[in-house]
Amino acid sequence: MECKFSCAGRICKGVEVNKQEKQSIVEELHAAWSESTAGVVAQYRGLTVTEMGELRANLHQSGVSLQVVKNTLARRAAEGTGFKVAEALFTGPVAIAYGTDPVGMAKAIADFAKDHDALEIRGGVLDGKAIDAAGIKALANLPSRDVLLAKMLGSMQSPISGFVRTLNEIPGSFVRVLAAVRDQKDAA
């Protein structure tokens, strides 16, 4: 049976493979999930091949991988990783996104799900803890990492800037006092 999604040579639902190939897939996923800090599990039933390709492209831009894999293999790959808490979500046809940027991943998937009703976000994993679909949507509403870093840097610089202005004000006020004394003596 041929796969209806282009999975870059990886296993998809409906593709029969031998035991060695399955073991290879489990090991590959286990290694990838061990390095990932976040993941999203979504049901993709009803998406066309083109739409699935579009989702993969959107996620790839955010540095996120998407895997459609048999649930039994996903459960085996989750052993010993933070994805173990998401095992209950591995039922039915699911696509599993994983990566190290939880906000970028959540934004990409939530934006795609807004335009494509067939993609249903079931939940996910964040630093080894299970989060529900509402948690994924809340992550999607956070500012990006770059925006948060810029805000933090601005907050850190603001006390320093105030201190520098205060230090600069002391000599300036001293000069103004001296000028006022000089003007007063000139007038007398």
Q: How confident is the model at residue 180 (pLDDT cuts 50, 70, 90)?
A: confident
pLDDT grade for 122, boundaries at 50, 70 and 90: very high
Q: Which two tokens stand for residue 185?
A: 């003596």
- End-to-end Cα, the chain, rounded Å: 105
Q: Output the six-digit token pair for 150.
A: 């810029």
pLDDT tens by residue, 21-57: 888 888 999 999 988 889 999 998 888 899 999 999 9
Tell me the average pLDDT of the chain.
83
CA distance 132 to 81: 18
- Tens of pLDDT, residues 94-115: 899 998 888 889 989 999 999 8
Please state the φ and ψ torsions of residue 139, each to the nearest 5 degrees: -60, -40
Report yes or no: 70 and 14 within 8 Å, Cβ to Cβ: no
Residue 15 exposed, middle or buried by CB count within 10 Å (0-12, 13-18, 19+): middle
